[in-house]
Amino acid sequence: MKIIVTGAYGPSQEFDPLREAGHEIALGRPVDQPARRPYTEEELVEWCRDAHVIMVSHLDTISRAVLEHAEQLRLVVVPFVGTDKIDVSAATELGIIVANSPAPQHFLGIAEATIGLMLALLKRIKHNEAKLRRGEWAQRIDRGSLVAGKTIGFVGLGRVAMQVARRLQGWEARLLAADPYVAPEKARPLGITLVALPALLAESDVVSLHMTLTPKTRGMIGDKELRSMKRTALLINTARGELVDEDALCQAIQENRIAGVALDAYEEEPLPMDSRLRALDPERAILTPHNVGHSEAGRLANLKLAVEATLNALRGEVPKHAVNPQAVALWRQRFGGTKVGGMRPS
């Protein structure tokens, strides 16, 4: 059967398990090419017509049109976590399974990076390094802040935020979270208090975003929310760029309505050269190219899950990490699958 990989993150040999199982692999433009552009919808419609599986890079979008024209398509899988560039609703209607690859190494990497960004801002590392490189030395006004005694607020209390909270145990910080889908019993063992979003924004010294992108969460941190934060507060986003109104954020930084920001995700990626974010004071705004939590161990673990999902689907088994289990009944009617690959869909 035919597997289309719209963009490989590593060498072609990493897909040998699929070839050894007798499947045809079609590799698209490597993701790491400097000028690599996303495939257009028209290109994907034509290329994916005879695909049985599409493994999607983070740059490419799988629309309803692509799905409708791929009449043999069983699975769309991503070798990472986010599926927001796939029309999951359309896939469900068509009986196509969508799966992600939530390897533990992925969540650990982002959790570690979140704490690293938090410390870089609180300790004013970029400010003090710049001062030293100018030939200057430290003064009292250059000192940073302690984590101890701070209030750290998680907007979204999923796997990444829980890992951040675990790593902050013993740091003597107050932990808050806003997440309407989490029960207090889940948060309590880590000393996390669940509150409404307005209270979290008003009380937190560090606000860290950990939501998935949905129509409800798109743009949820805008001018109103930024104005409700402390002037000394810091904002960290290692989740999705579209969660934040970037124009409102730039205005808040420039008007000193919040103290600093660290971003690893943006409304448009790669970040345009004319983005207002690039003009922010670099000592108060840390900008990284959506890779700060990535590691080679995480990439390989994610790819392994994506390959396993592909092999499962082509054997007629429901992949373990299906994000649209509502599609399974129609999927089984179309392809005759009966088993679940390893565990129930999650």
User: Is 93 a known active-site residue?
Assistant: no
Active-site residue among 210, 240, 257, 321?
Answer: 240
Beta-bridge partner residues of 2: 24
State the virtual CA torsion across 326, 39, 303, 331 in degrees, nearest 10: 20
As given in the structure block, the two tokens for residue 335 are 């392809």
* CA dist., res. 145 & res. 269, Å (int): 32
User: Is 269 a known active-site residue?
Assistant: yes
Active-site residue among 23, 290, 332, 334?
Answer: 290
> Using the 8-state DSSP alphabet, how is residue 36 labeled?
P
* CA dist., res. 254 & res. 252, Å (int): 6
Rounded CA Rg of the chain: 22
Beta-bridge partner residues of 208: 154, 236
The answer to whether 240 and 267 have CB atoms below 8 angstroms apart is: no
The answer to whether 200 and 176 have CB atoms below 8 angstroms apart is: yes
Active-site residue among 129, 172, 268, 269?
Answer: 269
Catalytic residues: 240, 269, 290
